[in-house]
Chains A and B, each alone.
Chain A
Amino acid sequence: MAETVAERVVRVFAEFKKLPPEEIKMETTFEELGLDSLDGLNLIFELEEEFDLTVPDNQIQEMKSVEQVVAGIEALLEAKEKGIDVTAEAAKEFAESQNSER
């Protein structure tokens, strides 16, 4: 049976931290794994490679636990399936939010 998204995320976490996969739980946070911000970016990069997608800058802040990463990746995979360029969308959204503040 093919690996689920959650299983693939756990595998990437486990390889990154050199831990057995069973020690990575859904509720495990980056903080609990001792990951600082730069480690976190490196881990996100590994996930981008695993799933062949790009996580927009503004979604990084919403990825602080395994569960949040799985949710974020699933949403990005769905967007990719539909052919939505999330990076362009995020840039557009940001530009609009800036304009509305002026």
Chain B
Amino acid sequence: MKRVAITGIGVVSALGNTAADFWKTLSAGRSGIAPITKLDVSTLRFQNAAEIKNFNDNEHFDEKELLWLDPFSRFGIVAAREAVADSGIEFDKENSGVITGNCLGGKMTEDELFYKLYAEGKQRHQPVAIPRAMSNAVSSHVSMEFGLTGATFTTSTACSSANHAIGQAFWLVRQGTLDAAIVGGSEAPLCFGHLKAWESMRVVSPDTCRPFSKDRSGMILGEGAAMFVLEDLEKAVARGATIYAEIVGAGMSADAHHLTMPLATGAAKAMKMALKDGNLQPEQIGYVNAHGTATQANDTMETAAIREVFGAHTENIAVSSTKSMHGHTLGAAGAIEMAATVLGMHNNLLPPNANFNEKDPECDLDIIANEARPAEIEAAVSNSFAFGGLNAVLAFKSYK
């Protein structure tokens, strides 16, 4: 079994369009949540989201390429390019792959097509909608760009998509099936038809995302992508690569309970399995990047699950949900939160939980309220729990 290093990071998010800008904004505790500007949402019951700003498509792609790319692919490809450049890796192309998470596919492409079809009655459409909208578009484009021909695919498990993808890729590198992998997730959910569907679910906050705070009022959607290079740690050391952290464990479980009501035992099981897979004792964990959606149901459930896994050691674990700043990016959530976790470990500075106003007795965790916390930790976990009761947790160790 090989050890697996994280040697490259790329991020496109409401907090910045590079990993460096993302970290700067995140560690300063500044939220990227603001009024939606991409489309008119004046008739919706919520107005805010974590939108990507100043992303210039033409800086990254020519017109012909753009024709084939839904925004979720644009974000994913740009993040993948940054991760690869950051890593400096020369791929063994036969034995490297691209494994990504995505929940919605090209919703923006479909929304536009359906509007033209149903509302405007247009019968002729550009022939690119199908390949633009497929969930695996990012994996395919990135594999073509870097010529990687090893195992390449996309997982779609709602809000756990990226963690399932990264966990699976980690296992493939650890067992030697892949020499290296580009992994992560991307999502572009901000189109009217999809926002309307969220409105009817009544879980989106009318103002902002306050995970674990007593006055929390629901989730806030975000768009974005984060990508990483995972590779054999020995080879990374041999070539003198920067190792941000070691990914050591993945745990996956199903609640087998309810489509939208999460179950603490399912979440706890995934955390326990990630620890076991990573050969970690609960006492080694110093930070949990929580799923922390800021819905009533998730945050109390997740608190109970963390307490079940860590027992008395819970008091020594710092917890934050960075969704308070980059929003809930659905299929990209696990990836963006892995960037937050790993950059935090690398910089000895744990990212904060913004918008935290008041302790909730039902969420009695050591929340990193509003300001980043300097700390050198040995290991961390990052949680993702999806609608449908599908859970995926990643475990990391600091590499110094």
Contacts and interface: CB of A to CB of B under 8 A. Distances in A.
B261 A56 contact: no
Contact of B45 (A37, A45, A87): A87
Interface in A58-99: 60, 87, 90-91, 94-95, 98
A38 B45 contact: no
Interface stretch (B58-66, B178-186, B199-207, B307-315): B199-207
Contact of A60 (B202, B207, B217, B258): B202
Interface string B352-364: 0000010000000
Contact of B259 (A38, A56, A60, A98): A38
Nearest to A40: B202
B207 A57 contact: no
Nearest to B217: A94
Contact of B202 (A57, A98, A101): A57
A41 interface: yes
B260 A37 contact: yes
A36 interface: yes
A45 B259 CA distance: 18
Interface in B198-234: 200-202, 206-207, 215, 217
A36 B261 contact: yes
A36 B258 contact: yes
A38 B260 contact: yes
A98 B297 CA distance: 21
Given A56-B45, A91-B45, A41 B201 contact: yes
A45 B206 CA distance: 19
B219 to A, nearest CB: 13
A101 B357 contact: yes
A45 B200 contact: yes
Contacts of B261: 36-38
Contacts of A91: 45, 206
A16 to B, nearest CB: 16
Nearest to A55: B202
Interface in B240-260: 258-260
Interface in B249-277: 258-261
Contacts of A57: 45, 202, 206
A95 B202 contact: no
Contacts of A90: 206
A76 B202 CA distance: 18
A82 B206 CA distance: 25
Interface string A30-53: 000000111001000100000000
Interface string A9-36: 0000000000000000000000000001
23 contacts: A36-B258, A36-B261, A37-B260, A37-B261, A37-B297, A38-B258, A38-B259, A38-B260, A38-B261, A41-B200, A41-B202, A45-B200, A57-B45, A57-B202, A87-B45, A91-B45, A91-B206, A94-B206, A94-B207, A94-B217, A95-B206, A98-B207, A101-B357
Interface of A: 36-38, 41, 45, 56-57, 60, 87, 90-91, 94-95, 98, 101
Nearest 10 CB-CB pairings of A with B: A57-B202, A94-B206, A38-B260, A91-B206, A87-B45, A98-B207, A41-B202, A60-B202, A57-B45, A36-B261
Given A41-B200, A45-B200, A87-B45, 11 more contacts: A36-B258, A37-B261, A38-B259, A38-B260, A57-B45, A57-B202, A60-B202, A90-B206, A91-B45, A95-B206, A95-B207
